[in-house]
Amino acid sequence: MPDLPGMPKISVGAATRPARLAEIWMAAVVAIAITFLLGQATAKAQAPDFSGKTVTIVVGFGPGGGYDTWARTVADHLGSHLPGEPTVIVENMPGGGGNRASVFLASVAPKDGTVISVFPQPFPLEGLIGRLGDNVAPEDFGYIGRLTTHTATLLMWNTSPVKTLADAMSREAPIATPGIDVTNIVARIVNERMGTQFKIIQGYEGSSEMAFALEREEVEGMSQSLESLVAKHPDWLPEGKVNVIWQVATTRNDLLPDVPAVTELPIDGDDAALLRLLASLGDTGRPLGMPPGVAPEVLQVFRDAFDAMVQDPDFIADAVKRGLQLDTEPGAAVAASVAAAMNTPEPTVDALKALLVAAP
C-alpha cells in the first residue's frame, strides 16, 4: 500500500510492542519481589539473637538493697522475653553513690546488649553538675523502661530526738547517705536555708548498710526511698520505728499524708526551683538502661522484652512477693524525662553546683 500524505509510517515491529511492555513489567515485578525477599532474609539474619549468651545487670550499690532487689527480680524474668532466652545475672559494682556502675557502662561495657543496668535516681543530676566525667552524658544512654517511681525520704530512727524539721534546728543529727543522692542535696538546702543541723555522712554502699548503721544507732537518720522502705522494712512505718521528715515529691504520697513534700517547704528563689527539679525526678524513678551506642534494633528488642515482662503474671507475682511496688513506664518516656532534666535552666544548675561546691 502506498504511503498517504501526512500519515506516519507504520513499522511492522510496532505490533509486538504490547508484548514487549508486558515482558518489561513482569521483569520489574520479579525484581521487586526478589529485592523484598532478600531484604526480609537479611533483616531476619541480622535480628538480635541472644541464644547461649549471658546478659549482666550491673547494680551500682551493694547486695540486699532496693536497687539490688529490683535487679534480681528482673534477672529472674527478662531472659524469657528476649530472643534466644539468654541467662540473666546480676553483678554488684558499688561506689560513688551508684556512679561507678554508670561510668563503667559508658566507657567499658560492651555495646551489644549483654550489659545493662538499673540506674540510680539522681543520675541526671550527676550529669548536670559534671560528676560523671566529660564522656558520660545521661541523655545518651538507651533507656529500656522504668520499673517504679522513686520517692526519696529522710528517715529518723525512733530513738532520735529529731522528729521534725524544727527539732533539727536545735541539735546536730547525723544522717547516712550513699553519696550525693537526692536526700543528701535536700539536707544541704534545708541546712543552709532553714538552719537545720543535719550532719551528712556519705559513702555507704547501699540502703542495707545504712539500715544496719541506723538500727545500731551509729547514725540517727538515713536516706531511703519510700518504695524500698515498704519493700525491705514493711514494719518500720506501722510500728513507729522511724519518723519520716520529708518526702521528695510534688505532692504527698498516700502512705505519708502527714509528711511535707519538699515543694511545700518555706524556701524560695533558685533553691525552690532546685527542689521542684528534685521532686520531678521521682517520675524518672528506677529505670533499666543500656550503654550509649547500642544499636537501635538491640535497644528496641529490650524495650519490647521489658514491655512484655511487666505484663507477665509471673513477674508481677514475684514483684509483689518481694514487696516491690510496680509503677512502670516505657523506655521512650523515660528517655524524654531524662532529656528534659538535662535541659534544666542554667541558674538552677548553678544553684546546685554552688550548693555542692564543698561536697567531697
> Picking from 51-60, 68-77, 124-133, 287-296, which range would have the lowest pLDDT averaged per residue?
124-133
pLDDT, residue 155, reads 97
Whether the pLDDT of residue 25 is over 80: the answer is no
Q: Residue 291 belongs to a domain with what CATH number?
A: 3.40.190.150
Residue 352 lies in a domain: no
Residue 334 lies in a domain: yes
What's the CA gap between 176 and 253, in Å, rounded?
23
Reported pTM: 0.73
Residue 20 lies in a domain: no
% of the chain beyond a pLDDT of 70: 86
One domain for residues 241 and 265: yes
One domain for residues 172 and 258: yes
Whether the pLDDT of residue 43 is over 50: the answer is no
One domain for residues 275 and 156: yes
One domain for residues 135 and 170: no
pLDDT, residue 357, reads 66
Give buried/exposed letters for 178-197 (b at 16+ CB in 10 A, else e): bbbbbbbbbbbbbbebeebe
Residue 49 lies in a domain: no
Whether the pLDDT of residue 167 is over 70: the answer is yes
Residue 114 lies in a domain: yes
- Mean of the pLDDT values across residues 41-56? 77
One domain for residues 126 and 156: no
Q: Into how many domains does the chain fold?
A: 2
What's the CA gap between 239 and 51, in Å, rounded?
48
Residue 27 lies in a domain: no
Residue 37 lies in a domain: no
For 268, the domain range is 152-281
Average pLDDT, the chain: 87
- Among 226, 253, 281, the domain-final residue is 281
What's the CA gap between 333 and 338, in Å, rounded?
9
- Among 259, 281, 303, the domain-final residue is 281
One domain for residues 192 and 252: yes
β-pairing, 115-118 with 142-146? unpaired
One domain for residues 288 and 275: no
User: H or E stretch including 69?
Assistant: helix 66-75
CB 86 within 8 A of CB 50: yes
One domain for residues 308 and 337: yes
One domain for residues 165 and 272: yes
Q: Residue 197 belongs to a domain with what CATH number?
A: 3.40.190.10
pLDDT confidence band for 227 (50 / 70 / 90): confident
One domain for residues 156 and 273: yes
One domain for residues 254 and 157: yes
pLDDT, residue 27, reads 54
Beta carbons within 8 Å of 16's beta carbon, 6+ residues apart: none
- Among 265, 281, 297, the domain-final residue is 281
One domain for residues 158 and 140: no
For the record, the C-alpha cell of 306 comes out as 521489658
pLDDT confidence band for 32 (50 / 70 / 90): low
- Mean of the pLDDT values across residues 109-132? 89
Residue 46 lies in a domain: no
pLDDT, residue 166, reads 95
